[in-house]
Amino acid sequence: MGRILVVGSINQDLRAGVERLPGPGETVIGRSLDRSAGGKGANQAVAAAVAGAAVDMLGAVGDDDAGRGSVAAMAAHGVRVEHIAVVADEPTGTAIIQVDDGGENSIVVIPGANHAVSEADLGPVDGLTAGDILLLQLEIPLPVVAAAARRAAAAGARVVLNLAPFAPVDADVLAIADPLIVNEHEAAQLAAAGLDAPSVLTTLGARGATWADLYVPAEPVEVVDSTGAGDSFCGALAAALAAGADRQDAMRAATAAAGRTVGHLGAQPPAGG
């Protein structure tokens, strides 16, 4: 089984429960407020570890309680955290999330220490080998994402890139990704930007996912909170691929993981859950 190195974001999530999401200029009364560990990178690392993979996380947090809590949450799920830097002059990244009664959400991310991740931190990427996977997203500086992808490919590792939140990425980086994971909105943005990739996996929410000529449906589930479903998909997919699964079996595992995630509050499961 190959190793997985996740290079990406680590956040604290501040989540407000609301009856419905507010429109522009509108105020609604919230029903609840809670705080939990999050960030696309951290969420995907936890999902991969929960799926049984050997996972290392590379990222940055602030020297604050939020950062210490986020790192502890990852470690509690079995993620190795030795490559997480503590940044003295930036707070840990924060996501402000509104979740309505139907489980839909809207999210604002303040990067904080995530923007301190630099190419100088990418030494562990060079230690990857054939059979290993580098898992990336776009909540850290784009030049760092591109450099990590190129260095992992040069080392013989597989690169899985989640193009979220959407941003234009160099064509050679898109070509490296196997797969490039997008949701339907990101797929449309990719096409609108005139960009393409040879290996594109599109998640379809409750309808499942497609990867080239393959389609895997999702099982019906009760949605409590859709936050982190895409991240769980990415992490579980990477874990299955690292274990040698073919594309269809990897998609099935990923779709099932996403279904479990929408059944609980928060992007990451409780420790031991």
Catalytic-role residue among 13, 56, 100, 231: 231
Is 89 noted as a catalytic residue in this protein? no
Pairing of strands 54-62, 105-110: unpaired
Q: Are 104 and 21 in contact (CB under 8 A)?
A: yes
- Could you count the other beta carbons within 10 Å of the beta carbon of residue 180? 26
Active site residues: 231
